[in-house]
Amino acid sequence: MATISPAIASNFTPPPSTAAKSSNFFSGVGNRGFRLNFPTKTTRGRKSGNLSVLGCAESRNPPEEIDLSDPNWKIKYERDFEQRFNLPHLTDVFKDLKPRPSTFCLKMRSPVSEDFAGGYPSDEKWNGYINNNDRVLLKVIRYSSQDSAGAECIDPDCTWVEQWVHRAGPREEIYFRPEEVNAAIVTCGGLCPGLNDVIRQIVITLDIYGVKNIVGIPFGYRGFTDKGIKEMPLSRKVVQNIHLSGGSLLGVSRGGPTVREIVDSMEERGTNMLFVLGGNGTHAGAVAIHNECRKRRMKVSVVGVPKTIDNDILLMDKTFGFDTAVEEAQRAINSAYIEVGPLIMNQPLAGLSLSQAHSAYRGVGLVKLMGRSSGFIAMHASLASGQVDICLIPEVPFHIHGPHGILRHLEYLLDTKGSAVICVAEGAALNLLEKSNATDASGNAVFGDIGVHIQQEIKKYFKELGTSADVKYIDPTYMLRAIRANASDGILCTILGQNAVHGAFAGFSGITVGLCNTHYAYFPIPEVIKYPRLVDPNSRMWHRCLTSTGQPDFI
């Protein structure tokens, strides 16, 4: 099974240019392994055939065609949505599989044993379980018009359509005996703050259920087949303090073997629970593994935990590592501001007012941040810092030259303020750079450096004007992803790790867990990897960023 599983082909079809890169599916697996391209601009309220095109870049994935002339279209849409978001379960394949009482109960200091009638430690029933019919509302704003900021409308009248996803958490009945579980954890792609936190909490929660056989697969998917890589036994004692440092206890890598080879290895190891931490490409691999296990009638639960500091996973409020990355990015922006911004002095220098004194004469602080296809880090870091004059993201086109270009506005800023700070996402305006056919181990296109390009254009522009511009270029890329998770991400990682284990014991497979409208939910993996989540240029958050920077349109 060297290519993507046919079982998900109808829901997840990569662009032809991407699919043709390699016959080995896992040559494109990693943090952002499968390069998922889709238009960065949409037309709000425009009709395409029978379907109104959604205006939001993170729109809620309607069916390909809706006949709005059908008076029952809303009912059909909701029914279709329910089917698409139905969670794959072990009983779909093993019809006779019977559940058993859960061994997870916080009224016990240790896992519940068979000694207790019905699985409970006392006659009092614990009300801490989640009912399988519990749902989380996907959309919480009822837009009255397609012209509203950030509007997500299915039809021209913005009809309210309820969309629900499954609530995450422990179930009263489970489908695995803890003593028979052989769990494995794998981290793929690049580093991300919080990886160790998630690993730690998965192990601790498995231990509470009563699982003793837990291993880590080092260095991503390749750890399944590389004979020189040994699996790492994991226990509560091993993982107790790993969250105090950055990186991943298990290591990471991009690329790897085929799906068939991975599942062969799982069969050999007796793995029946697999927890996969990674981005879109890694999750595409996880669902392919899930489908291969079903094809072989293996009783295996494959559960993903989305990992990308770019925050580009569909339908989720945020992914772990994002808050930490924004916090670290803000420090880089602050450094750029100190390099070029106004000096802080108790007394002005002789003949120089406070408003005129700067660390660098006509200084420009240029900070490049991560964000291959989405500008969430750049946007949020700019908002958090309050020191950015120009924020450039992949979703919003811009010109460097011309009467409305960046350089003309930069000239204005230097003439009026004496300094400026620019924040640019790595994937912004790639059309301005010389194209390359090079790819990394995950199949991602290797980008040119937009930061260096802008730096050179600034120097060239002001040299031709006969004036100066002292450009300070800061690229904190690897600093953002190698550090320890902050408090916000630490909490998020803890809950995601716990819910991943709950989902596996509940018998779900081919799912991932995420934060949706402040609640934790389970999603079928194909529904969240269709394409990257993007910043909506008409969203209130982008409007807030523009209000903060005061920048004009650069087109």
282 assigned to a ligand binding site = yes
Distances (CA, A) of 547 to 337, 376, 418, 541: 19, 16, 20, 10
254 assigned to a ligand binding site = yes
391 and 356 Cβ atoms separated by less than 8 Å: no
Annotated catalytic sites, by residue? Answer: 310
Buried b (16+ CB within 10 A) or exposed e, 39-72: ebebebbeeeeebbebbbbbbbbbeeebebeeee
**CB atoms closer than 10 angstroms to residue 383:** 19
281 assigned to a ligand binding site = yes
309 assigned to a ligand binding site = yes
Nearest to 316 by CA among 528, 14, 545: 528
279 assigned to a ligand binding site = yes
123 assigned to a ligand binding site = no
Enumerate the β-bridge partners of residue 165.
136
310 assigned to a ligand binding site = yes
> What are the contacts of 384-388 at 24+ separation with CB within 8 A?
384/326, 384/327, 384/330, 385/330, 385/333, 385/334, 385/337, 386/548, 387/333, 387/334, 387/336, 387/337, 387/341, 387/421, 388/333, 388/421, 388/422, 388/423, 388/548, 388/549
What gap in Å lies between CA 71 and CA 74, rounded to an integer? 8
280 assigned to a ligand binding site = yes
Chain-centroid distance, C-alpha 197 = 16
426 assigned to a ligand binding site = yes
478 assigned to a ligand binding site = yes
480 assigned to a ligand binding site = yes
370 assigned to a ligand binding site = yes
246 assigned to a ligand binding site = no
190 assigned to a ligand binding site = yes
Sorted by sequence, the CB contacts under 8 Å of residue 223 that are 6+ apart come out as: 186, 217, 229, 231, 250, 251, 253
Binding-site positions for ATP read 190, 254-255, 279-282
Annotated binding residues for substrate, as ranges?
308-310, 370-372, 426, 478-481
Instruction: Give binding residues for Mg(2+) as ranges.
Output: 280
Binding site listing: 190, 254-255, 279-282, 308-310, 370-372, 426, 478-481
